[in-house]
Amino acid sequence: MGVAFASRLSLVITLANLAGCVSIKGPPVPNLPIPVAFTSPVERAHPWPSVDWWVAFGSPQLCRLIHEAQVKNPDIRTAAAQFAAADANLLVAGASRQPAFAVGGGGVDEKIGKQAIEASSPLGGLNAKSLPSMDSYLHVYSLSFSASYEIDFWGKNLDKRRAAIANADASRFNRDSVALSVEALIADTYFQILADQEQITIARREVVTARRALTKAQDEYAAGTVDRSGVAQAQAAVAADRAALSQMRQNAREATLSLATLVGVAPEDLPAIRGGLDSLKVPPIAPGNPAGLLARRPDVAQARALLEAAGADVAGAKAQALPSITLTGATGWQSTALSSLFEPQSILQNAVASMTQPLFEGGLLLGGYRESQAIFREDVARYQQSWIQALTDVEQQLTALHETTDEEAAYAQAVASARTNFDVANANFERGTVDVGSVTNAEQALLSEQSLRVQANLARFVAAANLFKAMGGGWISQPTVEK
C-alpha cells in the first residue's frame, strides 16, 4: 500500500510541475507614441529633478512643511493605507497557486444498549441468550492529514496573481502620485502666502499715499484752488485702497488655512510663515527627452499597471471556460483503541483526482469574458490619455515658466524706472521745484509697478513648482518585488 501511495504522490507532483505550462495570454499593452523632443522653449537641458525637488527653492521652512505633510497629510495616509491593503492582497491572490493542508483528529464514545443490540442482531432476537447481557460501549479514535491542490494548467490562478501584482503596483503608484500632488500644492500655497504678505505691505503704503493725496486735496479745497469733486475723488481712492487691503488680508488668511489643511495640522499648530519671494530662488529646471518622462510620471505608471491587471483578467476570464483539475489526498490512522492508533493496521490512505468542465452557466462565463475585454479597452484609452496629459502638462509648464520669467524681468525693469522717477520727484520737491502732488503720483506709480512685479514673480515660482510636478518630481518607477 505504501508503494502505491508513493506512486500517486509522485503523480501529484508531476502534474503540479506542469501547472501553467499551457497558460493563456492576455492582450498586449499597446506602445505609446513618444515625441523626439518637447516643442516648448527650453533654455538648456538639466538633470532630472531629485526626489526632494523642493529643496532647490532655498526655503528651509518649505522643506519642514513638506516633510511634516508626508507624515500627517490625510490624503497621503489614505493612499498609503490603500497600498498596504493591495499589497496584502498579493498573499490572498497567491493562495490558490499553493497546496492546502489540513489536519484533523477526533474521538467517539458510543453507548449501545442491550435492546438496541437485540434489535440490530441478524438473529432477530431468536437466539438472545448468545447476545451480551449488558450494554456495550464503542470507542473510535482517529488522526488524519489531508492535502488538496488545483492543477493550474491554463494559468487561471497565475493570471489572478498577475492581476493582483499589477493592482498593487497601481495602488503604490497612486500613493506616490497623491504625495507628489500634495507636495506641489504645498509649494504653490506657500509661495502664495509669501506673495500675499508682500502685497499687503504694498497695499498699506498705497493707503498711506492715498491719504496724503486726500490731505493735499482738502488743503487745496480750503484754499479755493479746487472744487469739492477733487476731494471726493481722493476720498474714493482712500476707500478703494483700504478695501483692497482688506481683501488681501483675507486672501492671505485663506491661503494659510489651506496650507494647514495640506500639511495635516490644525491652523493653530501651523508655524507663522515669514519671508518673501525675493529671499528664494527659482532653480534651473528643464526636462530631458520625452522618452524619459514615461518612467517618471507615477500617474502614467498607475494607468499602465491598471491596464496590465485588466489584461491578466482577460486571460483569466478565458481560462474560466476550460476544465479544472483538482487533486486531493489524505493519510491517517483510525482505531478503536487509543493505544493501537499508530499501529500499521490502523493506517488509512486515499488519493483522488477530479476534473470539472463547465457546460452551461447561463451566460456567466461569456458575460464575464466580454466584460473583461471592455474594461481592457477602457484602460487602454485611459493609459493613452494619461500619457497625452503628461506631455501636455510639461509643455504648458515649460511655456509658463519661460513667459513668466520674461514677464518678471520686464516688471523688475519697470520697478527700477519707477523708483528712479520717484527719487527724482522727491529731490525736486526738496528743492521746491515741484509740489507734493508730483511726489504722490510718482509713489503711486512705483507701488503699482511693485504690485505687478510681485504677481509676475509669484506666477514664475508657481510655474517652476508645477513643472517639477509635471516632470514627476524626481519620481522613478521601481520594479515590483513579488511576495
pLDDT one-digit tens code per residue, 346-373: 677 777 777 777 777 778 888 888 989 9
Place of cell 497695499: 203
The better pLDDT of the pair 92, 256 is held by 256
| Contact (CB, 8 A) for 188 and 462 | yes
**Strand runs labelled E in 214-358:** 324-335, 347-356
Query: Could you give the CA distance from residue 359 to residue 365 in angstroms, rounded to a whole number?
Result: 10
User: Which helix (H) or strand (E) covers residue 222, if one does?
Assistant: helix 156-223
Query: Could you give the CA distance from residue 185 to residue 70 in angstroms, rounded to a whole number?
Result: 13
Provide the 10 A C-beta neighbour count for residue 162.
22
**Is 0.85 topped by the overall pTM?**
no
Quote the pLDDT of residue 126. Answer: 44
Closest CA to 466 of 194, 184, 192, 255: 184
3-state helix, strand, coil in the chain (%, to 5): 65, 10, 25
Quote the pLDDT of residue 5. Answer: 47
Query: Could you give the CA distance from residue 276 to residue 284 in angstroms, rounded to a whole number?
Result: 20
**pLDDT average, residue stretch 184-193:** 98
Quick: pLDDT tens for 366-402. 888 898 999 999 999 999 999 999 999 999 999 999 9
* pLDDT bucket at 88, cuts 50 / 70 / 90: confident
Edge-first strand order for the sheet with 347-356 is 100-112, 136-151, 324-335, 347-356
| Contact (CB, 8 A) for 19 and 152 | yes
Non-local (6+) Cβ contacts of 164 within 8 A are: 86, 89, 90, 92, 93, 94, 309
Place of cell 489584461: 311
The DSSP output letter for 50 is P
Cα Rg, the chain, nearest whole Å: 40
| Contact (CB, 8 A) for 131 and 121 | yes
Q: Reply yes or no on whether the pLDDT at 16 is more than 60.
A: no
Class of domain 31-97+152-322+364-470: mainly alpha
Quote the pLDDT of residue 59. Answer: 96
Query: Could you give the CA distance from residue 304 to residue 315 in angstroms, rounded to a whole number?
Result: 17
Quick: pLDDT tens for 225-282. 878 888 898 899 899 999 999 999 999 999 999 999 999 999 999 999 988 999 999 9
Query: Could you give the CA distance from residue 308 to residue 295 in angstroms, rounded to a whole number?
Result: 16
User: Which helix (H) or strand (E) covers residue 465, if one does?
Assistant: helix 436-470
The DSSP output letter for 44 is S
**pLDDT average, residue stretch 443-465:** 96
Closest CA to 286 of 456, 405, 384, 389: 405
Instruction: Give the C-alpha distances (Å, rounded to integers) separating 386 from 285, 321, 392, 470.
Output: 22, 34, 10, 12
| Contact (CB, 8 A) for 171 and 148 | no
Query: Could you give the CA distance from residue 303 to residue 309 in angstroms, rounded to a whole number?
Result: 10
- Angle of helix 156-223 versus helix 298-319 axis, rounded to 10: 150
Ranking 28-37, 49-58, 314-323, 366-375 by mean pLDDT, the lowest is: 314-323
Q: Where are the domains of the chain?
A: 31-97+152-322+364-470
Non-local (6+) Cβ contacts of 140 within 8 A are: 107, 108, 110, 334, 335, 336
Closest CA to 43 of 249, 263, 308, 284: 284
Q: Which three cell numbers stand for residue 337?
A: 483503541
Query: Could you give the CA distance from residue 117 to residue 420 in angstroms, rounded to a whole number?
Result: 123
* pLDDT bucket at 8, cuts 50 / 70 / 90: low
Cα three-residue angle 316-318-320, rounded to 5 degrees: 70
Query: Could you give the CA distance from residue 244 to residue 248 in angstroms, rounded to a whole number?
Result: 6
Quick: pLDDT tens for 290-333. 888 888 999 999 999 999 999 998 988 888 777 877 778 777 77
How many secondary structure helices (H) and strands (E) does the chain include? Answer: 10, 4
Provide the 10 A C-beta neighbour count for residue 480.
13
The mean predicted confidence, pLDDT, of the chain is: 84
Q: Which three cell numbers stand for residue 217?
A: 486735496
Parallel, antiparallel, or unpaired: how do β-strands 136-151 and 324-335 relate?
A: antiparallel
